[in-house]
Structure 1
Amino acid sequence: MNRPRVVVVGAGFAGFETARTLSRLVRDKAEIVLLNPTDYFLYLPLLPQVAAGILEPRRVTVSLPGSLPKVRLVLGEADGVDLEARQVRYTGPEGDTGTLEYDRLVLAVGSVNKLLPVPGVAEHAHGFRGLPEALYLRDHITRQIELAAGCEDPREYDARRTFVVVGAGYTGTEVVAQGKLFTDALVRKQPGRQGRKEPRWLLLDIADRLLPELDRRLSTTADRVLRRRGVDVRTGTSVKEATPDGVLLDDGEFIETRTLVWCVGVRPDPLVSDVGLPVERGRLLVDPQLNVPGHPEIFACGDAAAVPDLTRPGEFTPMTAQHAGRQGKVAGRNVAASLGFGARHTYKHNDLGFVVDLGGVQAAANPLGVPLSGPLAGALTRGYHLAAMPGNRVRVAADWMLEAVLPRQAVQLGLVRSWSVPLDSEAPEQARVPGAPEKD
């Protein structure tokens, strides 16, 4: 008797938890296949620390074969879904194509960089969704500080030491917080720095405050810490145009810079809209049990799914890692239940609070609605991340201890170049390489 096959597309927070939960429940009674472009789960919340030289790249990646021994990993990027044939088409890392037949399908493809129709942004900005982008930014920041040290032109010197981040949400705020400390550490090692201005960081957002999607008290704490650190925080401000030499703001000011980091948000992976099923703003519509109405064999969770928020009737759950991970667990249980293992569950979750790492010992947090800041919030934030990571906890903690007593290793490896990580990419987890096959 053939075992039923469950195909999980995507190994982010939602896909990883789906596969892990399902493998524990069905054991060897079903074949579980995980389709993902890479062989690791990426713990996104710690990515800014990779860009700032605190954590090494492998610290924030967890091996899929090592952590999911009962799940068959297929390396590839999903190209489409044939609902009638019950097949998923994909392209492998070496350009080979294939199909996966399924009895149950879980779409957990996540999200990609959100683009806006701003002239020059696609050509001159870089996002922050994948490991290649973090490695590029780490090298790029180091390179700009080192190139500036050899500049004789004052304007070029200032431009190379000016860094602009657009988007004051969770990611943008943490990138600026870590980045400012990183560049300050780099210039402290340079001779003859007396009398010179510190590196300049700007954080821009069209909203009226930082972290507009979070509690206002978190916004106030983050704003205070960044301004005290010397960050130029500008709310109610957007970019009108990006050029090779800088950015033009909507108030007419031109900021000369060689660095534009785009953190304005994310959009669901385009694969979701191409499936041919009803969507809500690019997210696949599902019921509270994460099932696609009319298709009992298809489930969706995480950023790819518009999940009804039962704590706020009429709304959908926001696109956060907290929801994605918990939805993945529910999806795993419900897929197992559809195969005869256990009972179905309805997804309902009240936010337990958020943590925002502001670099050093500073952080903002509101566990269970209690606002915290300073070293206490910093300790809580790091503790939360260690508890939430599915692996590498000892290595991450060791890196944090070493970072507290040793200077950071700031060198350019040159492994990821600018053209390898375009902003307009449907696969931010993969760097483009020469001769790579193009998708049809």
Structure 2
Amino acid sequence: MNTVTRPRILVVGAGFAGVECVRRLERKLSPDEADVTLVTPFAYQLYLPLLPQVASGVLTPQSIAVSLRRSKKYRTRIIPGGAIGVDLKSKVCVIRTITDEIINEPYDYIVLAPGSITRTFDIPGLTEHAFGMKTLAEAAYIRDHVISQLDLADASQDPAERAARLQFVVVGGGYAGTETAACLQKLTHAAVKRYPRIDPSLIKWHLIDIAPKLMPELGDKLGHSAQEILRRRGIDVSLGVSIEKAGPEEVTFTDGRVIPTRTLIWTAGVVASPLIATLGAETVRGRLAVTAEMTLPGQDGVFALGDSAAVPDKAKDDDSAICPPTAQHAMRQGKVVADNVIATLRGQALKPYVHKDLGLVVDLGGTDAVSKPLGIELRGLPAQFAARGYHWAALRTNVAKVRVATNWTLNAIAGDDFVRTGFQARKPAKLKDFEYTDAYLTPEQVRKQVEGTRALDQ
């Protein structure tokens, strides 16, 4: 008896790019036209730009974790796990589930949107002692950790220990690092009023970056404005400086300074997911080299986008320009890739990705912000309205929009609270505990896994 199987579309990653792609596939494909499968450890889309506000307690974690199963029309099959290798020749994706089971998932078309991981360097003690800011769990943990430092400093009888616990170091002068330092400084500034035994002048925040400018994408004027806002709040901004080594109780800067601290937050950029290295394909600065239509040259049915793909930026005159790893590009690339997958299925022409950058917004907490929407430089309240308005509009569901707006309103009226949730109390939660970079296979291991499973099936 002959059976007709539907084409299998496998989407790897549930970030901005992957989710937008899946949603568009669901809307435009009839149920009998193709089967869609999504590989992700969590059945939600994380709105990363608002993560610093979760760390500071302005927003609840649920506000920016948008459920993938909320739509009643949702029909995509979700595999709870992460892709650790892809055999392009056999058209098989190797997946490690959240229960550590290794499975092979065959596909006809694959959309690679695995995102990025935190960029680290060979700095002694970094991954063992630094916190990251890439996941919801890390943001929640950092909030608990920062408040616990105030609690422990308040209870300590040792002046040296108290001073060390009240010093905080953030590495990375990009958007993530700047917003993290700004939001958490506001948290400690407000919280210390509830600790009468702590001298507020002992609380010191350090923001450092090896680059000569803070957030250079904003331009000199807005970057300088952001720097002045931080310094006015008492945050020590050091540029041209990085970490030489990190320990459990102190951090050594490359300029020779030794800062006694129990809090090192590392946000110094991102690199493409290690999954890309398993393909054995050409890369551009670690990102998969793809065409303007986001297809992988020489491979049938392989698409890549988002942080892990070097998508040519056709909106610029420079032929070597590639799209930056930002949410606005990832979301729009997801829609174009979905259209191109459908076009491939139906034998139609593919279209290239072209998008002119809409600008940048930086929320520094309270009424402080700097923004550059459509090239217009804004500061203060106008910039804050632009920043929050953009983020609010970009949230995918009305429920998420209501939750975020409610949290912002409640925080503006009632102020901060300083409750520790006990999240992962007394358990390690440093960079090495969240990235899982040792989980990925080499190209040879991928082939061996696929061939071994195939032999068992026969």
Same-fold call, TM > 0.5? yes
Paired position in structure 2 for 1:7: 10
Q: Deviations over 1:75-118 (max 9, x none)?
A: 11112112222111111111222222111000000000111111
Question: Where do residues 15-414 of structure 1 align in structure 2 (5 Å cutoff)?
Answer: 15-28=18-31, 29-67=33-71, 69-193=74-198, 196-310=200-314, 311=316, 312-340=318-346, 343-391=349-397, 392-414=400-422
Paired position in structure 2 for 1:423: 431
Q: For the residues of structure 2 that align with 1:64 and 1:169, how far apart are their CA atoms?
A: 29
Q: Deviations over 1:383-427 (max 9, x none)?
A: 111110102000110011000111323222222257543313674
Q: Deviations over 1:24-46 (max 9, x none)?
A: 11131211111101111000000
RMSD of Structure 2 on Structure 1 (CA):
1.8
Query: 1:127 Cα shift?
Result: 1.0
Q: Deviations over 1:252-290 (max 9, x none)?
A: 111111100001111111011111221222211100000
CA contact (8 A) 2:168 2:263 kept: yes
Query: 1:322 Cα shift?
Result: 1.7
Shift in alpha-carbon separation, 1:400–1:196, aligned structure 2, 3 A:
closer
Q: For the residues of structure 2 that align with 1:123 and 1:426, how far apart are their CA atoms?
A: 11
CA contact (8 A) 2:43 2:69 kept: yes
| One-letter amino acid of the counterpart of residue 377, structure 1 | A
Name stretches of at least 5 consecutive residues in structure 1 with no aligned partner.
Answer: 430-439
Shift in alpha-carbon separation, 1:47–1:418, aligned structure 2, 3 A:
farther
- Runs (4 or more) in structure 1 with deviation over 2 Å come to 212-218, 341-344, 416-422, 424-429
Q: For the residues of structure 1 that align with 2:294 and 2:418, how far apart are their CA atoms?
A: 45
Q: For the residues of structure 2 that align with 1:428 and 1:406, how far apart are their CA atoms?
A: 39
In the superposition, the TM-score normalised over structure 1's length comes to: 0.94
SS in 1 for 2:201: coil
Query: 1:66 Cα shift?
Result: 1.6
Shift in alpha-carbon separation, 1:51–1:428, aligned structure 2, 3 A:
farther
SS in 2 for 1:98: strand
Identity of aligned residues (%): 44
Q: For the residues of structure 2 that align with 1:404 and 1:27, how far apart are their CA atoms?
A: 45
| One-letter amino acid of the counterpart of residue 47, structure 1 | L
CA contact (8 A) 1:6 1:102 kept: yes
Q: For the residues of structure 2 that align with 1:196 and 1:31, how far apart are their CA atoms?
A: 58
In the superposition, the TM-score normalised over structure 2's length comes to: 0.90
| One-letter amino acid of the counterpart of residue 395, structure 1 | R
Q: Deviations over 1:109-155 (max 9, x none)?
A: 00001111111111111111101110110000000011111122222
CA contact (8 A) 1:27 1:70 kept: no
Aligned length: 429
| One-letter amino acid of the counterpart of residue 97, structure 1 | I
